[in-house]
Amino acid sequence: MGRSEEFLDLYKEMEEMLVQRFAEAGRRTSSVVMDFLNTEEGLPFREDLNVCREVRNVLAHHASIRGEAVVEPAEALLDVIRQVLDFLKKPQPALAFATPRERMLTTTPGQQALKLMREMQKNGFSHVPVFRYNKLDGVFSISTVFSYLLKPGAGPITEETEVQDFGSLLRIGQHDSERFEVVDKDTDYWTVLSLFNRKADGPRKRLAVIFITDDGTLDGHILGMITPWDLIAHRMPHQTEIPEKFESFYES
């Protein structure tokens, strides 16, 4: 097999794997390679893989002129696709782009609600996990406040109002317009993407936060949380190892 044929075979294998990945994530696309390059996982490969795309297009449509090969891919280009294939087979762990527990804004049932809301506004947080006895007891969010104020007979939110006064509205399954998921520490990027792209059970229920725990249950130790913004804002090099900032959680 010549280098051109091997290059095209590798490129086809990469496309097929990406088609499967994006299908699992609930997305339909006409150019899986371009879509991959526009994801955070594809970012480290963008420049080199764009060259591969151009060479592939030449080989697919104008491989030869008068029986003579127009171009033959360098071995380095084949290595690029091999690296992408290896990366796709070992996807980035969700923990790599989650907000770790130590950096999460959290609260307790007895905290003053207005004080918490001011801190959320100041730091740009939309969802704050509520912990009781070091266990996740609910989520305080902008949606929680709206639901509380819209309840018949709801009183004003004053300096004396505590987080626990929002009652059942804090519970994971009781938010009117949003829902939450929990995954374990070994969950990868594509699984998280699939969860965020999956259609909600109801027309108003959007997935707001994915919590990562050591055992994949809400009773487990919280390691971090992921919002849709984390998928957009995440910028980091090609990495398949758990970041050092999470190592202490595995030792506890």
Q: Report DSSP state, residue 176.
A: S
Name the CA radius of gyration of the chain, rounded.
23
CB 100 within 8 A of CB 212: no
What residue ranges define each of the domains in the chain, with the CATH number in brackets? 3-90 (no CATH), 96-251 (3.10.580.10)
């104008």: which residue's tokens?
A: 62
- Position 240 scores a pLDDT of 38
- Indicate the Cα dihedral angle 187, 192, 195, 197, nearest 10°: -160
Mean pLDDT by 10 residues, the chain (252 residues): 87 92 68 84 87 91 71 91 89 88 95 97 94 93 94 90 96 91 91 76 77 93 91 49 38 33
- Position 29 scores a pLDDT of 63
**Which residues partner with 135 through β-bridges?**
132
d(CA 194, CA 198): 6
Tokens of 92: 């980035």
- Position 249 scores a pLDDT of 33
**DSSP per-residue letters across 191-225:** HHHHHHHSPPSSTT-EEEEEEEESSSSTTS-EEEE
Q: How many CB atoms lie within 10 A of CB 154?
A: 10
């007895």: which residue's tokens?
A: 110
Half-sphere exposure of 121 (CA within 13 A, CB side): 7
